[in-house]
Structure 1
Amino acid sequence: MPEQTGDTLPNLVTIVGSGVPSNYEITVNGDIELVGADPLEDATVVTDHAAEGAVETGVMRFRFSGEMANVHVVDWNGTSAPESPNTPHVHIEYGVSARNGSN
């Protein structure tokens, strides 16, 4: 998919690792793309409307259009949030300009 920013993908979701190997799945009702990382290097699968992968430390960012449809995060044991304190933190921001340092 060609790189889009700003007006076409105005929303941002950030997955923040908790220091424990964890998995995430996010689905939107618009388009989604990984920001500032190599999907092969970071073992991230991105389709037109969804992204999934693993995170231990660091941050994964995705720009998207539309609304967030689903977020599912689990720790290394497969325990979902909020039951596990070790799942990644998820931040969703709507209407974030790409010029504000998000890309």
Structure 2
Amino acid sequence: MSPEADEELPHLVTIVGRGVPSNYEISVGCDIELVDAAPLEEATVVTDHAAEGAIETGVMRFRFSGELANVHVVDWNGVPAAESPSTPDVHIDYGATTRNNGS
């Protein structure tokens, strides 16, 4: 991702799967975009202000602008985050920049 994209979408939300099929929905005040993954391969739907999809293992990252409006995660039974230890972890970093690791 280019430095210009960092400026346009300065915030980062990361979803980390816990080995259990789970669903997530993210909505933001402005724009959102999937980072380093193909939406069709990752079963992710991204619109101008929202993203939703499924995760079991691995990490999904989204860059966004504006404020985070909502994050909703549920496990395979539809049990929400606070009530299920199987829902994905969600990390939000405001003002995060992409790090160049030399690759």
- The total of aligned residue pairs comes to 98
Matched, 1:53 2:53: yes
Q: Per-residue displacement from partner, 1:59-89 (whole Å, max 9, x unpaired)? A: 0000000010000000000000110000000
TM-score (norm 2): 0.92
Q: Percent identity?
A: 72
Matched, 1:12 2:5: no
RMSD over aligned CA atoms reads 1.3
Pick the structure with more helix per residue.
2
Counterpart CA distance in 1 for 2:100 and 2:23 is: 26
User: Where has structure 1 moved over 2 Å in runs of 4 or more?
Assistant: none
Shift of 1:101: 4.4
Counterpart CA distance in 1 for 2:100 and 2:73 is: 26
Given residue 81 of structure 1, which amino acid in structure 2 is its aligned partner?
A: A
Counterpart CA distance in 2 for 1:50 and 1:92 is: 15
TM-score (norm 1): 0.92
Q: Per-residue displacement from partner, 1:21-66 (whole Å, max 9, x unpaired)? A: 0000000001000000000011100000000000000000000000
Counterpart CA distance in 2 for 1:9 and 1:87 is: 26
Shift of 1:97: 1.4
1:90 is matched with: 90
Counterpart CA distance in 2 for 1:81 and 1:96 is: 24
Counterpart CA distance in 1 for 2:78 and 2:67 is: 26
